[in-house]
Amino acid sequence: MTLPWFIISTFLLMLFISTLYQRNALKKVNYTRYFSSQAVFEGESVEMVEEISNGKLLPLPWLRLESSIAQGLEFGSQENLGISSGEIYQNHLSLFYLRAYRHIKRTHKVRCMKRGLFRLDTATMTTGDLFGLSRSTQTFPLQLELMVYPMIVDLYELPLPIHSWLGELPVKRWIVHDPFLTAGTREYSPGDSLGSLNWKATARTGRMQVHKKDFTADSRLVICLNMEISDSMWRTVTDVERIELGIRYAATISDYAVGHGIETGFLSNGRLDGEGANDPVDANPMGRLDDILGLLARLQLDRTMPMSRLLEQEAEKGNTDTDYLIISCHLGPELQQAAEQLRLSGNGVEWLEIPASGRNSA
């Protein structure tokens, strides 16, 4: 009778433990995950930190955590971390052993291999008893985002003759008088308007004094990035590396322009991640580099409409005194005609042709 009772007792004990874990395994288990930085540049590294805690007396002999994130982040090899790659997403599998009232913090080194907005919405946690009789699963919301900006290349890697044009941009900011900005007074000169007289300064000095007008950043820059490889391309980008190079050029020029105090806008016939499939990108000139780099990071390689039509719509707005830089793989006749409309409206137009693979870019 001893052996049967031992078997029955063992079975009842295992059943009790299984029921206990089924009901309580994931209670008071907390999990968080975050990146050490919310935004980095392509090619840089960042740390992904996992923190998990067991706030109860019941230990967890095994706990599996699964999540998926888009391709483009390279994780270093680490114990208890498994990675399997698919065509679009890569799956992460972390294993833990949690004693009672235990808190574990893990840090993973991540290299950002491509630009983009990487989202991690949820993580699925699975645990159970030591015998594998029970299993509990719970999904944790994370809403985690990592923005990877495009790489900023050396200015002299840009194709010629764009360097001389870039050098002229800061100078153009100081050639227009702003009637609403004053920078002191000066002595009256023939041709000055009587309305510009400063009577208090005239009385104080005994000489005719007029308001001295300051200069203003009247000229603005709009970077126009064309997703078309050729003027006959339909929707899908066939030369991804070439367009990605154009995006790096746009980031580099934005960095230069904003660094010199030039308000910079962005126009593209691509679309933004999370936006409508047929909505092009049309961002007004802005003074923050992070805003422009964020748009470039989220840019999807889908053509929403012909670039020539997008430039025609820009000309129809009636903008003047704006510099347009068109970054494109081709300079087709329809594209050049649309650019000429912008020029005839009183704007400056420059071209930056994205070199084909194998061509010297400098």
Domain ranges of the chain: 26-149, 155-174+217-353, 182-215
Spell out the CATH class of 155-174+217-353: alpha beta
Q: Which two tokens stand for residue 65?
A: 């955590």
At 236, is the pLDDT very low, low, confident or very high (cuts 50, 70, 90)?
A: confident
Among 64-78, 222-236, 337-351, the range with the most confident prediction by mean pLDDT is 337-351
- Between 290 and 79, the more confident residue is 290
Give the total residue count for the chain: 362
Q: What is the mean pLDDT of residues 229-247?
A: 88
The alpha carbon of residue 137 and the mean position of all alpha carbons in its chain are separated, in whole angstroms, by 34
Rounded alpha-carbon distances, angstroms, from residue 265 to 73, 288, 310, 337, 346: 29, 10, 14, 22, 17
- Between 182 and 253, the more confident residue is 253
The answer to whether the beta carbons of residues 219 and 321 sit under 8 Å apart is yes
DSSP string, 222-287: EEEE---SSTT--SB-S-HHHHHHHHHHHHHHHHHHHHTT--EEEEESSEETTS-TT--EEEEEES
Vertex 311, ends 309 and 313: CA angle to 5°?
70
Percent of the chain having pLDDT more than 90?
50
How high does pLDDT run on average in the chain? 84
Q: At what angle do helices 289-298 and 240-259 cross, to 10 degrees?
A: 170
If one counts every other C-beta atom within 10 angstroms of the C-beta of residue 121, the result is: 13
pLDDT exceeds cutoff 50 at 360: no
The answer to whether the beta carbons of residues 262 and 220 sit under 8 Å apart is yes
Q: What is the mean pLDDT of residues 247-272?
A: 94
Beta strand 220-225 with 209-215: parallel, antiparallel or unpaired?
unpaired
What pLDDT score does 1 carry? 53
What pLDDT score does 13 carry? 73
What pLDDT score does 140 carry? 86
pLDDT exceeds cutoff 70 at 52: yes
Region label for 166, one of left (φ > 0), alpha (ψ between -120 and 50) or beta (otherwise): alpha
CATH superfamily for domain 26-149: ntegrin, alpha v. Chain A, domain 4 (2.60.40.1530)
At 193, is the pLDDT very low, low, confident or very high (cuts 50, 70, 90)?
A: low
pLDDT exceeds cutoff 50 at 179: no
Q: What is the mean pLDDT of residues 255-270?
A: 93
- The region of weakest confidence among 72-81, 112-121, 207-216 is 207-216
Among 1-5, 243-247, 275-279, 302-306, the range with the most confident prediction by mean pLDDT is 243-247
At 181, is the pLDDT very low, low, confident or very high (cuts 50, 70, 90)?
A: very low
What pLDDT score does 110 carry? 93
pLDDT exceeds cutoff 80 at 291: yes
What pLDDT score does 361 carry? 43
What pLDDT score does 248 carry? 97
pLDDT exceeds cutoff 50 at 210: yes
Among 85-89, 192-196, 229-233, the range with the most confident prediction by mean pLDDT is 229-233
Vertex 307, ends 306 and 308: CA angle to 5°?
90
If one counts every other C-beta atom within 10 angstroms of the C-beta of residue 172, the result is: 16
What pLDDT score does 214 carry? 44
pLDDT exceeds cutoff 70 at 302: yes
What pLDDT score does 312 carry? 96
